Structure 1
């Protein structure tokens, strides 16, 4: 499989990512902290890098020393010193992060946390006065916390280093040129009701036209959930409770789950029920969608030491 990188893409502002106002306000309250770790979670192609760079643009100031280590560098960010992975030169995420820490950074963007060593250094960096942003492969915001534990990071370090986690997916947007209303089947209505969205009896779908190459969809839109890692959530992680319990606590504290965000996209005629069930992980749900028979299009420790050159908290 080849992944094509469009170098002509421009940076997006955080306000242009499609986050609902309530979710964006929650995220803004997290990203302006002076230190800690912020992680975007989701599968490949979920828009995590776009979210990270929009975050960088939002918090960037002239006095900040911003540095990145990526594979590859997807966006040119003039205000940052950017480094690219080069395995032939023995530049990995872990070794590049060590190099960055010697240069007194304020903000560090690590393209992806893939292994224990990178996770270990990133966690320690966030505990010693740096704001660290990265991405990780996990099904949702809650699962991202436990991915760190799976990588060998002690739960108490996960709880004290992470300040916020974003879970996200991309769904196709209904083509406005051929969108038409329809009354869904009982099975589709059951699937929609299970998402917990607003009451609705008619939905839209694209019939296919020249503007969307006959697909009924044109463009994509992100589905987000933003979890603040509060003291209560940290205590649950340290106690090694289940992800479901952590998710319940996060929702009780105001997090809007992806399934609810997705339901509102459907209700606002931006995407379809089928598209949500194909692409959005319905965390915490025990039901099997009645329309699930449709073919899916988804593709699917050493002791901690403070690195030299880091800041005191």
Structure 2
């Protein structure tokens, strides 16, 4: 019996789901099971269970399976790709092998002939096998090619190269091995939705990590001896000085990956064992500049939209580095962007180009600071000014002057809460009456990882653990969710991020507290009494809605 009919008869899927999966199979090819998993109609575990019954061979779920690199290397990349197989473990002269088609006797014979091991076949999900083939064998094949072809002369030629890189990376597949490896690395980072890529040299190895949804994940590393060549290639792409290895350097380059134009910002620094590279990946398709898509609670969004309608005043967004402040500011500018007004920005750096907005990148090495850019913009007939960050008293005072003379100013400050932003300005030396007369709104924010929709399940967490984490069991008991891990989320249980926001409108009561030099706690208490939703409360609401889990709430917020 076909696998689709088996699943249908067992009630695992319904007729409509089977038809949809079959339609996708006709359009895209591949095995039916892969489409059923991709559509979320069946789990990998359930599919393998039924495949095992159908084929009468043992099954193995590869998601989370502890694969050993030495065992994987028993089968060569060409053989693994040819038959879609993954070696699992060795027992004496027997090699346990996961296969898409465990009944393929030709595959078993060739593996036996090429490796010298008897083969014990297991059935596994096609998409999981392909993922391992992509992650391990393609990288390994590339490494082997690099090891065979890389000569010192080639490295020297690369260091003298002055080419421009802005084309399609895939079109360079016939280029040198290091070029191909770097292209593969960049493409892999983009496909895995990484925001940053780190290449870190140590005494005897190189570590490669991708930051995905705010957390660093280790990747398969290249051979140690290729580190210098890889760094040289990246420097060439960013038009940096290849020979300069003693000083930090910054640069950028663009490339087209999978039809999308991606911006890469590269930073190199000398470390004990060589140059460390960090690359920020800016993929416009992964970012929403719509305030309604960022995660605001309904009332908080209303306050923000109302503040943006003011013709003058200051709106501040606060939070730690990497909390999404720039995205919020861009979304705010996008909300009010109109041919009838002049919007200007001063940023460090300019992360995304916004149509209809005049953007300037500050350069402190030549004296172009936030303060000097702001002063210059005041002579440019602006309606709205966005300043990347208020770092000092001078920038703050110019921003206040701009607000007092009829301009709407948006900026960011590094503080932990909305209320703390006000006292931070006072501590900078700004007079309270100036803050009270110009500040309209303060937004504090964080980013929480979202529970993966493809493996989300109810989370039966004990009252004791909830209390230990600082939460009220009565409110949360039986209402929480978590991700169990699946191929869609790289077995992390999380996929994507959402914002949580603490929006503090500067009302008459808040203005009075500012003039009285009130503390953070006093300002926050008054704001909560007037309806402000704290970061903690916003995060708990996200957990109750099944958007995130309780551990993310505990990690990113504190009980106040």
- Normalising by structure 2, what TM-score? 0.49
Whose relative contact order is higher, 1 or 2, with alpha carbons under 8 Å and at least 6 apart? 1
Residues 288 and 294, structure 2, Cα contact 8 Å, conserved in 1: no
Going by fraction, where is helix more abundant, 1 or 2? Answer: 2
- Superposition map of 1:162-173 within 5 A: 162-173=439-450
Indicate which of 218, 223, 236 corresponds to 2:495.
218
Asked if residue 177 in structure 1 is aligned to residue 454 in structure 2, the reply is yes
Offset at residue 170 of structure 1 (A): 0.2
Consecutive unaligned residues in structure 1, runs of 5 or more? 286-313
Cα deviation code 1:21-55 (max 9, x no counterpart): 22211211111101000000100011111111111
Counterpart position of 1:91: 368
Q: What secondary structure is seen at the aligned counterpart in 1 of 2:340?
A: coil
Asked if residue 49 in structure 1 is aligned to residue 326 in structure 2, the reply is yes
- Superposition map of 1:1-313 within 5 A: 2=278, 4-9=280-285, 11-190=288-467, 194=471, 198-282=475-559, 285=560
Residues 251 and 257, structure 1, Cα contact 8 Å, conserved in 2: yes
Aligned-residue RMSD, C-alpha: 1.9
Cα deviation code 1:176-208 (max 9, x no counterpart): 112221221223332677479955424211121
**Which is greater in Rg?**
2
Partner Cα separation in structure 1 for residue 395 and residue 322 of structure 2: 21
Offset at residue 108 of structure 1 (A): 0.1
Counterpart position of 1:291: none
Consecutive unaligned residues in structure 2, runs of 5 or more? 1-197, 199-277
Q: What secondary structure is seen at the aligned counterpart in 1 of 2:436?
A: helix
- Normalising by structure 1, what TM-score? 0.85
Offset at residue 126 of structure 1 (A): 1.0
Offset at residue 250 of structure 1 (A): 0.8
Number of residue pairs aligned between Structure 1 and Structure 2: 283
Offset at residue 3 of structure 1 (A): 5.8
Partner Cα separation in structure 1 for residue 337 and residue 528 of structure 2: 30
Residues 67 and 81, structure 1, Cα contact 8 Å, conserved in 2: yes
Partner Cα separation in structure 1 for residue 305 and residue 481 of structure 2: 32
Residues 195 and 260, structure 1, Cα contact 8 Å, conserved in 2: no
Offset at residue 11 of structure 1 (A): 5.0
Which stretch of the first structure deviates more once superposed, 90-99 or 23-32?
A: 23-32
Counterpart position of 1:306: none
Residues 200 and 267, structure 1, Cα contact 8 Å, conserved in 2: no
Residues 223 and 262, structure 1, Cα contact 8 Å, conserved in 2: yes
Partner Cα separation in structure 2 for residue 266 and residue 14 of structure 1: 20
Partner Cα separation in structure 1 for residue 465 and residue 377 of structure 2: 51
Structure 1 residues 101, 195: closer, same or farther in 2, change over 3 A?
farther
Structure 1 residues 113, 196: closer, same or farther in 2, change over 3 A?
farther
Cα deviation code 1:85-136 (max 9, x no counterpart): 1123211101111111111111000011111111111112111100000011
Q: What secondary structure is seen at the aligned counterpart in 1 of 2:345?
A: strand
